[in-house]
Amino acid sequence: MNEWGTRSIWYVTCSGTTICTIANGSIVRRSKAAELARSPNDPGRLGFFGITGTVLSIPGGLGKRFFEFFYNTQTPTPSKDMRQDCDSGNYTAEKCIYTVPVDNDEDLYISQIRCYGGCSGIKFGQFLCINHALYEDGITIEIKSDNEITELPIIRTTEDFKNYFSFPYPGTAFRIDVQAGADQMIATFAPQLSFVIRKGGTYGVGNDDYIKIKITDDIDSGLSQLECIAEGFRQD
């Protein structure tokens, strides 16, 4: 009942001196989302609601929620500690790229990515407590969701976490706590709608969705902590 259109075979007839050229050789039928309003795109059911009956929103079990740290693939033990020397002379993918593992059985719907760090003397105009902005490409975040790639703006300074990363509400998604001995920063990317990381193998071998956080500078000193975590839920 939720298919776009009702015909599976299409005919085109040319008459007179008209020349017909096929622009697209196939028409793909795709399911459309159920609608709570009249569908303007479906002549077969125009004026009817896309779904009928009572709609309930039922909370899912806590077991479907997940909290995953971003890890690199460094051997012998992967690490969630992002304080690495990853400048151009020391960069390796195993050490400097951090990801959340793809689930091979279920899709992952990401509600937020949270990054947090600590040190003594966090300031704007520099990267946390490191007394300069990051060089090269700093920290880059690349998301491949539904086989489409999105890159977030590069993070080089403390305020980049606030201005570029903390969405949609920077007033509550970014925070610095200053106290004697150790300061803390937390920044949260929480889009209004969760984005999906499809289960492993959805788009073929070696073409899975992903979230990658890449470090491309030397940040192994001057910080006491820097980590990121993804939060969301699993769905069959």
Query: Into how many domains does the chain fold?
Result: 2
Asked if residue 177 and residue 140 are part of one domain, the reply reads yes
Q: What is the spatial distance between Cα 207 and Cα 200, in angstroms, rounded to a whole number? A: 9
- CATH number where 107 lies: 2.60.120
Asked if residue 210 and residue 97 are part of one domain, the reply reads yes
Name residue 127's amino acid. Answer: F
* Segment 110-136, tens digit of pLDDT: 999 999 999 999 999 999 999 999 987
Asked if residue 167 and residue 96 are part of one domain, the reply reads yes
* Segment 76-91, tens digit of pLDDT: 889 999 999 999 899 9
Q: What is the mean pLDDT of the chain?
A: 84
Query: Which of the listed residues 31, 56, 81 is the one where a domain comes to its end?
Result: 56
Asked if residue 121 and residue 14 are part of one domain, the reply reads no
Instruction: State yes or no: pLDDT of 49 exceeds 50.
Output: yes
Asked if residue 75 and residue 41 are part of one domain, the reply reads no
pTM of the model: 0.73
Instruction: State yes or no: pLDDT of 3 exceeds 80.
Output: no
Q: What is the spatial distance between Cα 230 and Cα 211, in angstroms, rounded to a whole number? A: 9
Q: What is the mean pLDDT of residues 59-73?
A: 82
Asked if residue 92 and residue 205 are part of one domain, the reply reads yes
Q: What is the spatial distance between Cα 86 and Cα 13, in angstroms, rounded to a whole number? A: 63
pLDDT of residue 55: 57
Asked if residue 69 and residue 17 are part of one domain, the reply reads no
Asked if residue 94 and residue 7 are part of one domain, the reply reads no
Query: Which of the listed residues 56, 80, 100 is the one where a domain comes to its end?
Result: 56
Asked if residue 85 and residue 14 are part of one domain, the reply reads no
Give the domain range for residue 135: 62-235
Buried-state track 145-178, b at ≥16 Cβ within 10 A, e below 16: beeeeeebebbbbbbbbbebbbbeeeeebbebee
Asked if residue 185 and residue 229 are part of one domain, the reply reads yes
